[in-house]
Amino acid sequence: MPNALKKFLKRGGKHQQRLAIGLMLGALLLLPFATDALLGRGWVRIVDFAMLYIMLALGLNIVVGYAGLLDLGYIAFFAVGAYCYALTGSPHLALAFPMAFPDGLHLSFWIVLPLAALVAGGFGVLLGAPTLRLRGDYLAIVTLGFGEIIRIFLNNLNAPVNLTNGPQGISRIDPVSVASVLLNSTQNIFGISLPSVHLYFYLFLAFTALVVFISQRLEKSRIGRAWMAIREDEIAASSMGINTRNLKLLAFAMGAMFGGASGALFAGFQGFVSPESFSLMESIMVLCMVVLGGMGNIAGVILGGVLLALLPEILRHIVVPLQQALFGKTLVDPESLRMLLFGTALIVMMLYRPAGLLPSRVRRRELDTDEAAEKV
Amino acid sequence: MTSPLLEVRDLQVAYGGIRAVKGIDLHVVPGELVALIGSNGAGKTTTLKTLAGLLHPASGQIQYAGKSLKNIAAHQRAAMGIALVPEGRGVFARMTVAENLLMGAYSRRDKIEIASDLARMYELFPRLAERRDQLAGTLSGGEQQMVAMARALMSRPRLLMLDEPSMGLAPLMVQKIFETIRDIAALGMSILLVEQNARLALQVAQRGYVMESGAITLSGAASELLGSDAVQRAYLGA
């Protein structure tokens, strides 16, 4: 089927491609209503989280997929972005600096969003600079440590000055407002009543589309080609005239900016952040999305994000009722079943689809030529 | 005598405390093919890497086109016209042949000229024209060497530095690669060739340097070196 679709698109050229993209966007715009009608009220929220994960995975894809720098602490940038908004868009700073901010700081989301991206980007450079000479496993270990350092800092920076409120986290974060419409309450727009989760759905959809667009442009740009050259052979890349140092820092910074921006969106959506949302497991989950879907391929990364974000929810909705019906009680809870299935899926993937579900063009070709060579 | 394109004086390079290059002098005149020969571990690759800016010298001067290369980073040297074909070829394995060659022109902005240079590379290496859409990692060693050389030429270098182009290649392919090196030299390119295969290198070169444990022990016209007893005994097994 995907092949048939691809052929159809190729034959139809630009016009049909636009039609397909239009239809897809239309379907996405109706998606929250469809899930409400078909699956139940809770699902839009799940889809919202899936989109946050997709944005994260696309950001990590720049670092891992394009530039080939293995980052196991990526969630730290998400945390930095989330705390940026939590600090500047909540009453919390009143606790830390009662004199300066008696009511806390309530900056507009649209000021904080670029700020969060920039601060996270700065942290990206901070991580990138000392690790310029590292590659592969060594880089992975340092980035893993970096992710943990950020989380532990957030956990402990409630003394001597209560900056992050420690493990309790920061609550009462201002909701995002778009054109003075607060997204945390039901709104009537053109006679359609849109609950908060729907409003956030459209906001996240817009940002995901933007992230996809930027990723696509980056991939085909001079910068993107330089990243791929660095990924393939750093010495050769620098003797092509590529400034490997700056471009590696740029990859870290760009990836971190995507992470930071999604973090700010997350904080606004949740209204609450705490360090436990940013554990090592989350970093690994995002990396798995990138690897499972197909490193370096945007469509693959999106698919990976959708699958891994939705899988636990689908399991929860299927496994429990199924066991109830079969045995009259729940024998295996969905959470442990999820890890079991997840592990099995990864092993099966490595055996049968090592380049991911939707491998990037180059990877697919590489495997094809390998097969061709084997046949000869 | 024309002023040299590359002039190295008393170059010393150390890894940690270990000196790999112990004060060498060499030069390359424009249009000249110079061979730097010597056995494994003599410091040849270290010398080339230092010239390319990938390693930092402990002391000594490198003059290129009349300018000192001190504190000039590798990518800037590449933009100045110093091209390195690294040891082990260093092709971008998961890019096609065409993409590899275009990466060579990374520091250039003249699109039309790049396209015509690409066509010239396919003339110079007809084998690559056949395989332009194939991934470079799937080519044979000799073909990869061609990719690496063509990629370096795509930057329109003034100085081409080749590190062990014969390494790991079948004898027939070695012949072919050296014929190509001769062809490129005939176009007036200045080439510094590092090679373990002393006989072949000296056959194509005009001048040569013999390097032994970090120092240059012999230098002179390639034909003289080829005939000298010391070189014969040490490298040519005669």
Query: What are the structural domains, with CATH classification, of chain B?
Result: 1-81+158-238 (3.40.50.300), 84-156 (no CATH)
Residue-level pLDDT at A373? 47
Chain B 49-68, residues with CB within 8 Å of chain A CB atoms: 52-54
**Is the CB of residue A220 less than 8 Å from the CB of residue A93?**
no
Q: How much is the mean pLDDT over chain A?
A: 86
Nearest residue of A to residue B51, measured between CA atoms: A239
Nearest to A366 among B76, B94, B103 (CB): B94
**Residue A111 CB neighbours (<10 A):** 11
Res A370 pLDDT > 60 = no
Residue-level pLDDT at A66? 93
CB contact under 8 A, B103 and A365: no
Convert the pLDDT of each residue in A299-333 to its tens digit: 999 999 998 888 888 887 787 788 888 887 777 77
Give mean pLDDT, residues A185-191: 77
B87 in contact with chain A, both atoms CB, cutoff 8 A: no
Which residues from chain B sit within 8 angstroms of residue A236, using beta carbons? 86, 90-92, 148, 151
CB contact under 8 A, B86 and A243: no
Res A356 pLDDT > 90 = no
Q: Indicate the pairing of strand B190-195 with strand B33-38.
A: parallel
Res A13 pLDDT > 70 = no
Q: Is the peptide bond before A321 cis (omega within 30 degrees of 0)?
A: no
Convert the pLDDT of each residue in B86-121 to its tens digit: 998 999 998 999 999 999 999 888 889 999 999 999
- Give the burial class of A115: count Cβ atoms within 10 A of its Cβ; 0-12 exposed, 13-18 middle, 19 or more buried: middle
3-state SS string for chain B:
CCCCCEEEEEEEEEECCEEEEEEEEEEECCCCEEEEEECCCCCHHHHHHHHHCCCCCCEEEEEECCEECCCCCHHHHHHCCEEEECCCCCCCCCCEHHHHHHHHCCCCCCHHHHHHHHHHHHHHCHHHHHCCCCEHHHCCHHHHHHHHHHHHHCCCCCEEEEECCCCCCCHHHHHHHHHHHHHHHHCCCEEEEEECCHHHHHHHCCEEEEEECCEEEEEEEHHHHHHCHHHHHHHHCC
Nearest residue of B to residue A66, measured between CA atoms: B94
Nearest to B78 among A241, A369, A370 (CB): A241
Convert the pLDDT of each residue in A150-184 to its tens digit: 999 999 998 788 888 889 999 989 988 887 778 87
Q: Which of B123, B149, B124 is nearest to B136 (CA)?
A: B149
Residue-level pLDDT at A340? 83
Residue-level pLDDT at A178? 84
Convert the pLDDT of each residue in A26-61 to its tens digit: 888 888 888 877 887 788 999 999 999 999 999 999
Residue-level pLDDT at A1? 45
d(CA A54, CA A298): 10
**Residue B82 CB neighbours (<10 A):** 29
Sheet holding B59-64, edge to edge: B18-28, B6-15, B59-64, B67-68
Nearest to A232 among B52, B92, B107 (CB): B92
Residue A98 confidence class, pLDDT cut points 50, 70, 90: confident
Which residues from chain B sit within 8 angstroms of residue A245, using beta carbons? 73
Q: What percent of chain B has pLDDT over 70?
A: 98
Residue-level pLDDT at A7? 58
Res A122 pLDDT > 50 = yes
A155 in contact with chain B, both atoms CB, cutoff 8 A: no
Residue-level pLDDT at A39? 80
CB contact under 8 A, A239 and B103: no
Convert the pLDDT of each residue in A222-263 to its tens digit: 999 999 999 999 999 999 999 999 999 999 999 999 999 999
d(CA A62, CA A121): 13
Give mean pLDDT, residues A330-353: 81
A249 in contact with chain B, both atoms CB, cutoff 8 A: no
Res A78 pLDDT > 90 = yes
User: Rounded to a whole number, what is the distance in Å from the CA of A225 to chain B's nearest CA?
Assistant: 8
Residue-level pLDDT at A375? 42
Nearest to A241 among B93, B107, B135 (CB): B107
Q: What percent of chain A has pLDDT over 90?
A: 48
Tokens 């373990």 locate to B196
3-state secondary structure of A105: strand
Res B144 pLDDT > 70 = yes
CB contact under 8 A, A226 and B75: no
d(CA B112, CA B121): 14
Higher-confidence position of B176 and A18: B176
